Structure 1
Amino acid sequence: MGSTRRSFTEEYKASAVGLVLDDGHSIAETARNIGVHEMTLGKWVKKARDSSGKRPEKPLSESEREELIRLREEVKHARMEAEFAKKVASWFAKDQR
């Protein structure tokens, strides 16, 4: 008794991988929904990640999160100062005329 091996088109694989990588669905959930073994889909996703050159993002640590918040505040403050400087410069330019 021989086993039948299913084959999938590249478009089908890309669509399934897109559900995991782009839409954020889990591999297990997606595999169940499309009728593919979880290991098979996992291999497709791993291959896509490796070929794209993207490293999987890991969550920020607490210190990194605090630094990100601090830096965002600094950028916001710097932008406000730049806007103020532009307004002052235009005001002085009008006064000179």
Structure 2
Amino acid sequence: MATSSGKYSPELRAEVVRVVLEEGRTYAQAARDFGLIPETVRHWVKGEREKNPATTERAQEAVDRAKVSEMERRIRELEMENAFLKKAAAFFAKGSQ
């Protein structure tokens, strides 16, 4: 990961910044995944946001849209499970009378 001068490659920096901005990982999660210090990750992300504010806003919007889609999918799934459980409860209540 680190070169002999103690600096990280631009590719590593870009990948770490990408997982924070696009995948929504925290600084600590990204640091743990890549064997870095969270403050280093925070510094890299801050620098990227200052360089490209429009890009990072779009990335965050994409992450937010993905989260909303996942939550909507989960809500539909839970509603179906709830309906099934109501029917099962009614069936067993009817059978015990």
TM-score where L is the length of structure 1: 0.49
Higher relative contact order (CA 8 A, sep 6+): 2
Relative to total residues, which structure has the larger helix share, 1 or 2?
A: 2
Indicate the structure (1 or 2) with the bigger Cα radius of gyration. 1
